[in-house]
Amino acid sequence: MNKKAGIYYNKQFNTLLVKFSEKLVSETIFKKSENAAILKTAEEIVGINFFDLDASKIPSGWVSHDPETIKTVNQKLTSLKLPLLSPEPQMTVAKIVSAEPIEGTHLKKCQINNGNHLLQVVCGAENAAAGQIVVLASIGSWMPSGQQIIAGKLKGIESNGMLCSARELGIIDPGMNSVGIIVLDKNWEPRLGQDFMKVRLENEKK
């Protein structure tokens, strides 16, 4: 299974969808004891749907970052004798070290400090600039839209992740810029490499 999972809760049907891959499903195995449907290719598990959960504990929509939901999924995975979800964050606090315009395009080639090392990301946001503290969706991460971030090339230039806007993360916050990628204030710099959604939730509770 993929180290990272996209987790989405459909409140109307009380179903929790856990995605490990975007590969096409060729087989579904039902586990009545856990109210689960395991979705597979011939070689691997690509997702699991869990039904009839305690809906009071799970927020609706994209919940890949929700601690209680992750705990619930891991309990289910343990019962199914499957590997637990990776604790690796998907949306991390990062810093743009450099942002060079790509000739003939609106794109910029950015060198990003993710708290551990530098990586290259191609970004199309007008407001992307060196020195900014931003939110990085790393390779393998899942967006609220259901899209998984993969390594790719734009104009022949390698891109290893995506810099996120508030809209792409489903965030409505008057204290956060709504146009272009999220630009965090300098108070976030000591948090480089940490889970953006987790830190944001902690800050909201203070």
Say if residue 26's pLDDT is above 80.
yes
Q: Identify the architecture of domain 91-205 in CATH.
A: Beta Barrel (2.40)
pLDDT averaged over the chain? 94
For the stretch 142-199, pLDDT in tens is: 999 999 999 999 989 999 999 999 999 999 888 889 899 999 999 999 999 999 999 9
For the stretch 39-66, pLDDT in tens is: 999 999 999 999 999 878 788 999 999 8
For the stretch 64-121, pLDDT in tens is: 998 889 999 999 999 999 999 988 899 999 999 999 999 999 999 999 999 999 999 9
CA angle 171, 177, 178 (to 5 degrees): 60
Query: Per-residue pLDDT averaged across 16-36, rounded?
Result: 95
d(CA 47, CA 58): 19
For residue 56, the model assigns a pLDDT of 80
Please choose, from the candidates 149, 89, 88, the residue with its C-alpha nearest in 3D space to the C-alpha of residue 122.
149
Residue ranges per structural domain of the chain = 6-79, 91-205
Say if residue 19's pLDDT is above 60.
yes
CA angle 116, 95, 123 (to 5 degrees): 110
The whole-model pTM stands at 0.90
